[in-house]
Structure 1
Amino acid sequence: MSPGTISAASGQAGIASMALWSITVAVLILLLAIDIVLTRRPHEVHMREAVGWSVFYLALPVAFGAYLWGVFGGTTAAEFFTGYVVEKSLSVDNLFVFMLLLAAFAVPSDLVQRVLLYGIVGALVLRVVFIALGAAALRSGTWAFLLFGAILIVTAGKVWAEARKGEGPKVDIDAMRSVRLLRRFVPVTGDYRGFRLVVREQGHLAITPLALATVAVFATDIVFAVDSVPAVYGVTEDPFLVFVTNAFALLGLRALYFVLQGALMRLRHLNHGLAIILAFIGVKLVLHWAHGIWAWVPEIPTAASLGVIVAVLLTVTLTSLRAGRAGRADRQAEPSAEEAGNRSVPGS
């Protein structure tokens, strides 16, 4: 590849025809409509319901990947599965922040589904915008690969530094500009009013805490889109594959939230793994840019990328579980205050 050019995949429309794009978008809208119908009545989600939908949304990308393999070949399918694994691992980090936001706003358990749905729809819209911007940047020249790689490497450094300090995702509602702006110009009700975002009180319009929570979730979606889209462009340059990997990763978040609600807190090394994955993809993008200028610079194949990403995720999961067991053992070994006092008193 010569300087100022890009691969055929990014310079053209990609593998998807207009018909495939139309069918994919129609199916996505149908799935979102089903989610809206399922959440129209406030109710608390039980584990059986959450697991069922999680299995369904995990089976969808597997079936779609098999379709890509049969129609477009193993390389395209490998790019899709690698991009999906990257996006799914990053989306789990989204769930951490969503969990903190829902707790900070004290969202009732029967309204959690709707807030998550709003967040997923907002994330999909933002992904479409960022994917289009990314595709336009790639068409303008190989400098975009260097830019995307730099963004991911810097982000990886920040995530790793926070993980080393033992700092997980933090949420400061009062520091969020979007929330402060709403509170300054619009009165907020003191309680939730079901699914209603806007109500009329004493002749004046007011927003509910549900509206504030929704705006806060949407604001965090912007931050996640900045990292997520460059990451998947590091795996594939095809806008269609970038879109479907994001869509499949986001669709199952609502159900996955309830399945992993307890387990998320035990994945204490997840951020370490995400930092490594982001740095790895950033380096892959930089090498891809350099290869276009100096042909002797090696590139990282998609199969190797998938292997590294899966290995990192498995490693941090195992180390998190091991650290959790060690922590529980230490707590059980510590004597209680009463036992310590009894031991220090002779003849007790």
Structure 2
Amino acid sequence: MPYPSAVPAAAPESIGSFWLWAVSVLVLLALLVADFVVTRRPHEVSMREAAGWSVFYLALPFVFGGWLWFAYGGGQALDFVTGFVVEKSLSVDNLFVFMLLLTAFAVPAAVQQRVLLYGIVGALVLRAVFIAAGAALLQAGTWAFLVFGLVLFLSAVKILREAIAGEQAVRDVAQLRSVRLLRRLMPVTDDYRGARLTVHEHGRRALTPLALVVVAIFATDVVFAVDSVPAVYGITADPYLVFATNAFALLGLRALYFVLHSALAKLVHLNHGLAIILAFIGVKLVLHWAHGVWPAVPEIPTPLSLVVIALVLATVTVTSLRRRSRDTAVKR
């Protein structure tokens, strides 16, 4: 049977018209500007403030999903919600790495939310680049689904091996190439200077430690973009919905970080679950590719994907809490 080279039949025409893209980008920029205004004055974030913003950003995607259901039907809405759940799950792991970086750099509590916001903006830009590249690959043929599936398999194996070995995603910040390069190019101050990234000192421009942590976060954003974009393409081939799920998943991370700060350390099995989810979506992508070549090969429907992902997340949450409870009892 000839190898397919056209746009896959399962990839419907994108719902993203020019005006929908334009309005969506403008709303995204407005929300980012609002976040920068909120973080303009460095201050320690209270739980009340963080919870309020988290509820707002968690409600937005479901309101958007309701609009999708009304405007385009249940299929598009279900794809979006499933993709959002996947991206939000991966973003929680992203938050864990942010926590490690903020701790490693001893970032003052008053400027932590500004660092997180820089990280979110960087992640959005990188996701946009990867989404465009993924869309171009899908236009080239259904073999792109096979590539995405293999990428997710490799990511799942790597995450699972690190989880089993108990390794951290960031071992030594000082050894990051981006950080070492910056230290060679410019002097770095010994202390933080509020939310400033650079200062003029001793007659020359110098970086602050805040600039180093921002660069370190940008470097880790690349790794997460490699995992997350193929993962959501396993749910929907519509570039607009892929963009929307990533945007909604990332927007509320700044506030969610402060809500989940203490809870993140308790989710000791989170990476095990994320590895299973990535491997499952990898299987879904490979089956989708195989279905285009051999129609008798079954595909995994989106509703089943949502159920599996929800069950995996619920399971690792319960097992993590039991593990923490058992460890606490042993220490006593």
Q: TM-score, normalised by structure 2?
A: 0.97
Mapping of 1:279-318 within 5 angstroms? 279-318=279-318
- Where does residue 338 of structure 1 map in the other structure? none
Report the AA paired with residue 127 of structure 1: R
Instruction: Measure, in 1, the Cα distance between the counterparts of 2:23 and 2:11.
Output: 21
Gaps of 5+ in 1: 333-348
Which is greater in Rg?
1
- Where does residue 26 of structure 2 map in the other structure? 26
Identity of aligned residues (%): 67
Instruction: Measure, in 2, the Cα distance between the counterparts of 1:26 and 1:63.
Output: 17
Matched, 1:3 2:7: no
- Where does residue 43 of structure 1 map in the other structure? 43
Q: Which runs of 4+ in 1 moved over 2 A?
A: 5-12, 166-171
- Where does residue 119 of structure 2 map in the other structure? 119
Report the AA paired with residue 142 of structure 2: T
- Asked whether the 8 Å contact 1:15–1:240 carries over to 2, the reply is yes
Mapping of 1:1-348 within 5 angstroms? 3-7=4-8, 10=11, 12=13, 14-332=14-332
Instruction: Measure, in 2, the Cα distance between the counterparts of 1:328 and 1:207.
Output: 42
Instruction: Measure, in 1, the Cα distance between the counterparts of 2:303 and 2:262.
Output: 32
**Which stretch of the first structure deviates more once superposed, 113-122 or 319-328?**
319-328
Report the AA paired with residue 4 of structure 1: S
**Which stretch of the first structure deviates more once superposed, 115-124 or 153-162?**
153-162
- Where does residue 343 of structure 1 map in the other structure? none
- Asked whether the 8 Å contact 1:97–1:171 carries over to 2, the reply is no
Q: CA deviation at 1:11?
A: 7.0
Q: RMSD of aligned C-alpha atoms? A: 1.3
Deviation readout 1:67-86 (Å, 9 max, x if unpaired): 00111111101100000000
Instruction: Measure, in 1, the Cα distance between the counterparts of 2:38 and 2:324.
Output: 35
- Asked whether the 8 Å contact 2:8–2:292 carries over to 1, the reply is no
- Asked whether the 8 Å contact 1:10–1:139 carries over to 2, the reply is no
- Asked whether the 8 Å contact 2:8–2:142 carries over to 1, the reply is no
- Asked whether the 8 Å contact 1:130–1:229 carries over to 2, the reply is yes
Deviation readout 1:109-130 (Å, 9 max, x if unpaired): 0000100000000000000000
Instruction: Measure, in 2, the Cα distance between the counterparts of 1:288 and 1:184.
Output: 48
Q: Secondary structure at the match of 1:266?
A: coil
Q: CA deviation at 1:45?
A: 0.2
Instruction: Measure, in 1, the Cα distance between the counterparts of 2:121 and 2:238.
Output: 22
- Asked whether the 8 Å contact 1:100–1:171 carries over to 2, the reply is no
